[in-house]
Structure 1
Amino acid sequence: MTDPNHSDPLKALENRIDAVKKSQSGEKPHQEEHYSQAQVGWRMVTELVAGMVVGFGIGYGLDLVLGTTPTLMVLFIMLGFAAGVQTMMRTAKELQGKNAAEADEDKRD
């Protein structure tokens, strides 16, 4: 048998939880949105190294298949480096735009 007194506290608790969720859904904490400079630096280094590793893999594989010893490997490492730098620049531009938008928002407040 169900106790009618048990359902009332649960409903009240659900209502309180819903009220708290509605009051906190407005903004995310700033801590989640900001990246430290070390995180940004590691992200950019990782992007650069990943481009070079992919270029090395493609060049080495093509060298093995085609029999051209280091030529394609060197070429694709350079292309991977260029792609990594391009990705780093895109990331820096994106982060710069976010920082400028946050600065504008802080000035308005």
Structure 2
Amino acid sequence: MVTVMMVWNYLVTPLYMGYPREAVVELLIPAFLPFNLLKSGLNAGITFLLYKPVITALRKGGYISMSEKQSQGKPTGLILLAVVVIITCILFILSMNGVI
């Protein structure tokens, strides 16, 4: 997560802050890395603490099935992850070539 967010910081920060990419590169390690580490750690910890109670409540409410068996459909989460990684790579390549 941290690696992908560092790439996204490199790509997006110059667009919305108006900084040159060189200035953003200088801020990646001292500013963006600690923030991304803290954010991903908090996200993981909060998810770890809340996952079981939320799933239990959703099952009791009938919003998800009680079965542990996964459906045999397409793995949409995996497909979504692949699309995000591909878009990230394309944007990184375009920014390295000076297109964006």
Higher relative contact order (CA 8 A, sep 6+): 2
TM-score (norm 1): 0.32
Report the structure number with the largest CA radius of gyration. 1
**Larger helix fraction of residues:** 1
